Structure 1
């Protein structure tokens, strides 16, 4: 048996733009996802990062079948769930749960916590009323809340506590996969650390698999086994977390990492950050060839004409780039030089300086 729990194959999602009031017709489409392929193995955490509008949340909703893909296939536990009718999805959704970004909007303010956490159990017909109550109280304790909070309303909790309630709800039916769509972005930094540590502890205890979406690279590094980088609806880099942060291969990933703040003032002053020029192109009319080429300092003519496929640049490290970075870190000037791709030796990777920092003599 394969270890793959979730397999996303060449998935596209286009949102039509229509014109007219009575007789509507499609005039264009927003290409939110365009040929995304990704595999998530059992028990691992795959982080997905990228700028706002790159398609992260759309991918999460397609995986959950909250949005229907335009084309492509999503397989969960060996079953093609893109072909499952809506009326038959209940059995699938018992094993697929989601943690939402906003802990305030994702909880019904008119319902008590006990009802909110027990609702998945009721929908799937699991247990008696007494058993559900015990299950909810146990879950509240597991996520670090008092079981006596069973009868409270969401407005009586802080943001971090509300997100813990959302996590308890996601755990209620013992899912195999949890899709977390920026679950800590609305929380204070200290609370973020608590929630991340909680998610890691729960993964160890219950054998969970996570798809973790975030725009904060530090958060993703802390929790992810592998990291996928998205740009304008496409996957541009995929690697083990330690490899991607130590030696990124795609220029877009390098630019993202160079923007990460450094807590050490001396190292921060010595860093030569690279700032991308221009804005993200419109997903309605994306650029030809490589979608990153209008902003890429290493772009050549071939980048404008051809779309690079996601290919292995090193062991377990894939990038969609004709001119991948051959060393890291890079100064802004070095980033702008297109060089012939070469395979860095192991010593250069092992001795690499901290992310986005120039070596100082």
Structure 2
């Protein structure tokens, strides 16, 4: 089946310039550096990684907010209307001087959809759909809580009936109890409207709960991708293994028994990425080959399983990694995300 979204060898570099009157390019930030992925209709692809790995830049490339430096992004439809975005900050993404009815209606106005009365009805329908009081469309953002503001952002993203919604860390700025409500709202909307999500986050428990497949990014590249449960049960890239060891665990007894894998050194600069495997300066399995040869994403385990990892020496079943060979447990855990009312 043809994917809804296909990203092929996408690169996004930001120039670094010096000079007061005549500026000269002296370097580039390799924010996204050769990413390829596919998203099928109706699924949720989770993208995880440390801050600065290029997740949000990739999201903005997919939605067209950033032009790509090279590569291609193909969408099966009209990307101007059918690809929308939910932003991370529910406070900064809403203009405090405008009423929320106008904010939600912006996509309809820009694309000249309906009359003024029809747009108002559509806005109130969207507000009710996301759990807001439709009679509050004349209020300003300051009159709403953080969770309610994010619901406003979700309503705006749904105004044009998109097929693909890019969620750029949509719950990271919210309290834990409100996170659960917004996540469950997104899952309910997906089931009701047939939406496809690209869900970006750094909280691995949240990504596990919402995602059908997961892609792990490091320093601008995808280093591992697999079905959600396959990746969590048996991560093959050492970086993924380290991320999972640091993930929050609901069971306090299990959390007490686990030892976190502590990576040595800092994340290298995206201005001058390391040669070979970009993770090798911090990798507990690094060998001379990792310094010189850039690994490709290759199938791990069953080829039909779709589990890919870019590693010369992938983690084997039963292998334990960590500083001073610290042992970790890979037991399955589910995040405590209960349904709840709107706030």
Q: Is the CA contact 1:16–1:29 (under 8 Å) kept in the aligned structure 2? A: yes
Which whole-Å deviations, capped at 9, do the CAs of 1:63-98 have from their partners, x for residues lacking one?
A: 1111111110110117xxxxxxxxxxxx53111111
Runs of 4+ in 1 over 4 A off after TM superposition: 333-337
Seen in structure 2, the aligned counterparts of structure 1 residues 73 and 144 have a Cα distance that, compared at 3 Å, is: same
Give the CA deviation at 1:292.
0.1
Q: Deviations over 1:25-66 (max 9, x none)?
A: 111111111110010111111011000110001101111111
2:310 maps to 1:320? yes
Which residues in structure 2 correspond to 1:168-247 (within 5 Å)? 168-247=155-234
Contact 1:298–1:335 under 8 Å retained in 2: no
- What are the ranges of 5 or more consecutive residues in structure 1 without an aligned counterpart? 79-90, 338-350, 356-361
Report the CA distance between 1:23 and its aligned residue: 2.0
Query: In the TM superposition, what is the alpha-carbon distance from 1:304 to its structure 2 partner?
Result: 0.4
Q: Which deviates further from its counterpart, 104-113 or 14-23?
A: 14-23
Shift of 1:307: 0.5
Residue among 332, 336, 339 paired with 1:354 = 332
The count of aligned residue pairs is 329
Q: Do 1:273 and 1:331's aligned partners in 2 also have CA atoms closer than 8 Å? A: no
CA distance in 2, matches of 1:268, 1:116: 43
- Does structure 1 residue 35 correspond to structure 2 residue 25? no
Greater relative contact order structure (CA < 8 Å, 6+ sep): 2
8 Å CA contact 1:248–1:328 kept in 2: the answer is no
C-alpha distance in 1 between matches for 2:35 and 2:69: 12
Structure-2 separation of matches of 1:129 and 1:235: 45
Structure 1 residues 299, 331: closer, same or farther in 2, change over 3 A? closer
Distance 1:67 1:336 in 2: 41
**TM superposition score normalised by structure 2:** 0.92
Structure 1 residue matching 2:300: 3-state secondary structure? strand
Distance 1:335 1:177, change over 3 A: farther
SS of the residue 1:253 aligns to: helix
Say which SS state the counterpart of residue 189 (structure 2) adopts: helix
Whether the aligned pair in 1 keeps the contact of 2:284 and 2:323 (CA below 8 Å) is no
1:16 matched residue in structure 2: 15
Give the TM-score normalised by the residue count of structure 1.
0.88
Match in the other structure for 2:271: 284
Aligned partner of 2:132 in structure 1 is: 145
Structure-2 separation of matches of 1:132 and 1:24: 46
Check the 8 A contact 2:3/2:40 in 1, yes or no.
Answer: yes
Query: What displacement does 1:333 show?
Result: 6.4
Are the counterparts in 1 of residues 259 and 326 from structure 2 also a CA contact under 8 Å? no
**Shift of residue 145 of structure 1?**
0.7
Deviation at 1:168, TM superposition (A): 0.4
Task: Classify the secondary structure of the residue corresponding to 1:134.
Answer: helix
CA contact (8 A) 1:17 1:27 kept: yes
* Superposition RMSD in Å: 1.7
- What is the CA–CA distance in structure 2 between the aligned matches of 1:27 and 1:249, rounded to whole Å? 37
Secondary structure at the counterpart of residue 4 of structure 2: strand
Contact 2:263 2:323 (C-alpha < 8 Å) held by counterparts? no
Tell me the equivalent position of 1:161.
148
Q: Secondary structure of the equivalent of 2:180?
A: helix
Alpha carbons 1:49, 1:56 under 8 Å: kept: yes
Tell me whether 1:64 sits opposite 2:54 in the alignment. Answer: no
Q: Does the 8 Å contact 1:251/1:335 carry over to 2? A: no
Match of 2:242 in 1: 255
Kept in 1: contact 2:260–2:326 (CA 8 A): no
> What's the CA shift string for 1:77-129, capped at 9, x where partnerless?
17xxxxxxxxxxxx531111110000001111111111111111111111111
- Partner of residue 346, structure 1: none
Q: Distance in 2 between matches of 1:328 and 1:354?
A: 15
For residue 120 of structure 1, give the secondary structure of its aligned residue in structure 2: helix
